[in-house]
Structure 1
Amino acid sequence: MIYRWMHLRLTGPLLAFGGIAIDHVGPSRDFPSASMLTGLFANALGWRREETERHQALQDRLVFGALIARQGRVLTDSQNVQLKANDRGWTTRGRPDERAGGTYDSPHRRRRDYLADHDCRIVLRLTPEDEPDIGTLARALDQPARPLFIGRKPCLPSVRLFQGWLNAPTPRAAIGALGLSGRALWPATDAEDEDEGSILDLADLRNWRSGLHGGSRRVIEGEIPGGVE
């Protein structure tokens, strides 16, 4: 069966695809997680973070593959700040975010990794058919309810995110239809694809009801040869 796939391009001066954070260290994967894509779409649709059932239902419906068209370099941002009770933070909602805690005597430290000049392509569809449908997601990316960012608020896209439609039977075939070469990731649902790369258990799911990350999915990582852009 042939399906319609959305083609997304995630690129910009800085991107952050997240990863397993330990203590104050926040790494970035080379490929976006299912939870990150869910958050990107939810932000475009104007959903509130408290709408956990909506987020969970959307994440459960995502079927996608990804290809690195240009590998970025890792840029590490080390942050040290003295937090006071009356400090405010910038938000995409148009009003400052006030802190509820007290003043910290010691510096608050964080380390965050970013990908500089990275270019990642996504092929994506939704199953089962429901609302929002894939056309609604495409329109929301072109006319988002709020400003969009890729992973973290400083990571603004430098091109249109929605790049058009592809027709293909599987995620691997949809990636091939891009006409690009590079390292790719796609769901391990077709036994014929298993010879094309390494099978991994990827921990990139979020339990939106609890607010915690947990759960993994079986994927294949491999090289897509040839291709002309």
Structure 2
Amino acid sequence: MSRHLLMRLRAPLVAFGGETIDSYGVIRDFPALSMVTGLIACALGYDRGDFALHDRLQARIVMGTRIDAGGARLVDFQTAQLNRRDEAWTTHREPETRQGGEDSYKSPHLRHREYHAGLDALVAIRLEPANEQPTLDDVALALDRPKRPLFIGRKPCLPTTRVFIDMIDADHVLGALQQALAPELPDFRFQWPEGEGTLPHSQWRDVCDERNWRTGVHGGWRRVLEGSGPCASNSLELSA
């Protein structure tokens, strides 16, 4: 068996972000590998410029998700009237100035951002190799005492419960999710990596959720499985 760390992702608003097209920030049903990497990196205190640390952490994470409450989807329509003298902070840690002519500021800046409202997700992760720094114990400690603020996908999405739940031993990621204590539902939706367990009637998905942390661009494809099924009748009670 392998040791897995369980995380609870719960907030009034959650954003499992997908591909942003123009001003539309869409969401996915399950959290991206890059999002979980960023969450843990914030807890560990990584700086945005620590590209190698982010890339290595992402490469080591083996993760799966169980949806305990699906919630509802909503769209936040955002508008801001900006002028030429306004500055915006960017991921490059330098203010971004606006270069357009005066006429380009007559219309407001518009964005659409999707959110999950009332979603509750359980994430199981394993780090490979297990003895490399940071270890699962390091991650657990950091999630309880984060060095940077934690948010679930977007900065307004602050967790409303303890993120680190417990450690659990299981043969694979899906097994860890099935063994963890669950609400009384007939079936749950799961997403897990190829080779990390099986469910009847599950379907393959190719997801593009790995980020190149130096360029800030997502690329490549990762094979996952998605399916529905019950949790184990002897689910292990979690400590938090």
Shared fold, TM over 0.5: yes
Equivalent position amino acid for 2:36 in 1: L
- Kindly indicate whether residue 151 of structure 2 is the aligned counterpart of residue 146 of structure 1: no
What is the aligned partner in structure 1 of residue 163 from structure 2? 161
- Kindly indicate whether residue 185 of structure 2 is the aligned counterpart of residue 188 of structure 1: no
Equivalent position amino acid for 1:32 in 2: P
- Return 175-184 or 52-61, whichever deviates more: 175-184
Alpha-carbon distance in structure 1 between the residues aligned to 2:136 and 2:89: 31
- Return 168-177 or 97-106, whichever deviates more: 97-106
Deviation at 1:215, TM superposition (A): 1.4
Equivalent position amino acid for 2:117 in 1: A
What is the aligned partner in structure 2 of residue 109 from structure 1? 110
Please state whether the residue corresponding to 2:17 is helix, strand or coil: coil
* Inter-CA distance 136–164: structure 2 relative to 1 (3 Å threshold): same
* Inter-CA distance 194–69: structure 2 relative to 1 (3 Å threshold): closer
What is the aligned partner in structure 1 of residue 226 from structure 2? 221
Deviation at 1:75, TM superposition (A): 1.1
What is the aligned partner in structure 2 of residue 39 from structure 1? 38
Deviation at 1:194, TM superposition (A): 6.3
- Return 79-88 or 194-203, whichever deviates more: 79-88
Q: Within 5 A, what are the aligned runs for 1:128-139?
A: 128-129=129-130, 130-139=132-141
Given that 1:73 and 1:117 are in contact with CA atoms closer than 8 Å, whether structure 2 keeps it comes out as yes
- Percent identity (aligned): 42
Deviation at 1:125, TM superposition (A): 0.9
Alignment size in residue pairs: 223
Deviation at 1:34, TM superposition (A): 0.3
Alpha-carbon distance in structure 1 between the residues aligned to 2:231 and 2:134: 35
- Kindly indicate whether residue 199 of structure 2 is the aligned counterpart of residue 200 of structure 1: no
Alpha-carbon distance in structure 2 between the residues aligned to 1:126 and 1:117: 29
TM-score by length of 1: 0.90
Please state whether the residue corresponding to 1:160 is helix, strand or coil: coil
> What CA RMSD, in Å, does the superposition of the two structures yield over aligned residues?
2.2
Work out which of the two has the higher radius of gyration on C-alpha atoms and give 1 or 2: 2
Q: Within 5 A, what are the aligned runs for 1:53-132?
A: 53-87=52-86, 98-102=95-99, 104-105=104-105, 106-129=107-130, 130-132=132-134
1:12-57 CA-to-partner distances (Å, cap 9, x unmatched) read 1000010011111111112110000111111111111111111000
Alpha-carbon distance in structure 2 between the residues aligned to 1:37 and 1:186: 14
Deviation at 1:80, TM superposition (A): 1.6
TM-score by length of 2: 0.86
Please state whether the residue corresponding to 1:114 is helix, strand or coil: strand
* Inter-CA distance 195–226: structure 2 relative to 1 (3 Å threshold): closer
User: Structure 2 stretches of 5 or more lacking a match?
Assistant: 236-240
1:58-94 CA-to-partner distances (Å, cap 9, x unmatched) read 0000101100000010110111212234446699xxx
Alpha-carbon distance in structure 2 between the residues aligned to 1:126 and 1:137: 10
Alpha-carbon distance in structure 2 between the residues aligned to 1:153 and 1:90: 14
Deviation at 1:100, TM superposition (A): 2.6
1:134-191 CA-to-partner distances (Å, cap 9, x unmatched) read 111111110011111111010010000000111101111111111434101000115x
